[in-house]
Amino acid sequence: MNQTDYIVIGSGIAGLSAAHAVAPFGKTLVITKGNIHEGSTQLAQGGIAVAMHRDDTPTFHLDDTLAAGDGLCNIEAVKILVEEGPARVQELVDMGAHFDKSGDDYSFTREAAHNRRRILHAGDATGREIEKTLGNTVRRHPNVSFLQNTTVASLIISNGECIGCITVKDGIPKPILAKAVILASGGCGQVYSYNTNPPVATGDGIALAFRAGATVQDMEFTQFHPTTLYTGDKKPISLFLISEAVRGEGGILRNKDGVRFMPNYHSMAELAPRDAVARAVFEEMRKTRSRHVYLDLSEVPLELKMRFPTIFKRCQASGIDIRRDFVPVAPAAHYFMGGVSTDIEGRTTIPRLYAAGEVASLGIHGANRLASNSLLDGLVFGYGAGKSAAKLLSLPHSPSIPPVVTPLPAGLTRVKARVIRSRLRNLMWTNVGIVRTRAKMEKARAYFQTLQWILDTPTYDEELLELQNLITISMLITEFSLKRTGSRGAHFRQDFPEKDTSEVGHYTLTIGMTTPLLNPQL
């Protein structure tokens, strides 16, 4: 049985930040399901929101974050985010991160729902720059090692504490013990058939923690990005995002007839919060019976090829010149505000288990994340979780690991498993997506009831483990969405369109392995 001091599950910005913080205190193993570059961080285009401009302050940043969160933000957590953010970003610069400048000053841009220009960027590949810089620093630390292309099958819970995890590679399980486990495995966009997330974003960390008995919260809040490149009938596993920074620089949304429509939906027009823009795009598509709208960049007063090189190149590959052509765009699932419930130090409800980044739900983003706060969240709270975990000194005892059956269960072939996965994702997009109703969500719930046997099957088969996680996350999103009968932020109920101010702030759920998931009492 292997043993280390600290386990970090995930190699995006939150995981790397946690490893950077905890490594000086002991041997640190970073486990990632794909390779170390396959997470969402490297896909982040727009930038990182931070109050470092001379006309900005952490208080202004706080106000914008709270406004976007629609009354559900954890104010204490947001204060930590905006106040510690500049120091953490400066540390990145000191490590060698290069952000765009205009002369000697940083070139800050503006995005939706920000009242100041505070988005620090590296072209339109900011996440890649941050991941490269932070990753190089972490990899050089003598206490850090990486375990790539490895699935975490379960957490090891002993005497109510998390003392490690069981990893699986090529169907072979291996338990690893540690003083603490830090979940930083990212979100769950692959629950939806249309999403901007990498293929590895299947909600594994949330499902692992939930099955182990940790509390989850805010599972009804999925953020849908309003502008992904529309590719016709092609259905890639993840869609190409057209950064919100494009609209921040002056991009205009037009319907299929070329008519600008956002002023009809919100006073901030294209710079309204993401949830408002996504619903407006969705409604305009419905009204005009179109599968997309257009993004018009022709009046943006910048050299687009230089400012947005990744977007320019990708659109050019589809025969679109963003300098003069309308870009066809449509909404897609993008970011998850729910997750494993934590305190401000990243501690979950299970001792020795920590969580940070998109897998965690501290209430930083409330009901709707402010654009470009995600990278800052991972940077600040990943570091905080690492510092908190480092305080644990004692090593756990060695538990006995029960044997687990590895084959696929009877009646489930590889082909059938993939058909179930595809149907699940389509059902979530149609019935528990941008606009929700009780009738549609109950239809989804009825389908989930037919899948309980898959959840009940113990296995070390990686493909089945991933399917189990997708089913678990889909169920949780649906149950939480049914429970919240008012609309708020990214959660919009067509049958309850008004905000219910008397409704509880945050719904939570704790459930054990032996408790039925269907129809839980939230």
**In whole angstroms, what is the distance from residue 401 CA to residue 274 CA?**
45
Residues 206 and 475: beta-carbon distance below 8 Å? no
Catalytic site residue from 274, 279, 488, 493: 274
Helix (H, G, I), strand (E, B) or coil at 173: strand
Q: In the chain, what's the furthest Cα-to-Cα distance?
A: 67
Would you list the DSSP string of 71-123?
T---HHHHHHHHHHHHHHHHHHHHHT----EETTEE--B--TT-SS--EE-ST
Closest CA to 487 of 421, 419, 437, 431: 437
CA 40 to chain centre: 8
| C-alpha to C-alpha distance for 165 and 176, rounded to whole angstroms | 6
Residue at 165: amino acid letter: C
Dihedral sign for Cα atoms in the order 427, 432, 438, 442: positive
Q: What phi and psi, each to the nearest 5 degrees, are found at residue 34?
A: -105, -145
Q: For residue 496, what are the β-bridge partners?
A: 493
* Helix, coil or strand: residue 287: helix
Structural element, H or E, at residue 176? strand 172-177
Q: Angle at the Cα of 257 (from 252 to 261), degrees rounded to 5?
A: 40
Active site residue 488: no
Query: CA-CA distance, 10 to 380, in Å (whole number)?
Result: 16
Question: What is the sign, positive or negative, of the torsion defined by CA atoms of 226, 227, 228, 233?
Answer: positive
Give the number of other Cβ atoms within 10 Å of residue 203's Cβ: 31
Q: State how far the Cα of 192 lies from the Cα of 424, in Å rounded to an integer.
A: 8
Spatial distance between the Cα atoms of 337 and 360, rounded to a whole number of angstroms: 8
* Helical axes 373-389 vs 126-140, angle rounded to 10°: 20
State how far Cα 237 lies from the chain centre: 16
10 Å CB burial of residue 305 (0-12, 13-18, 19+) is middle
Q: What residues are annotated to the active site?
A: 274
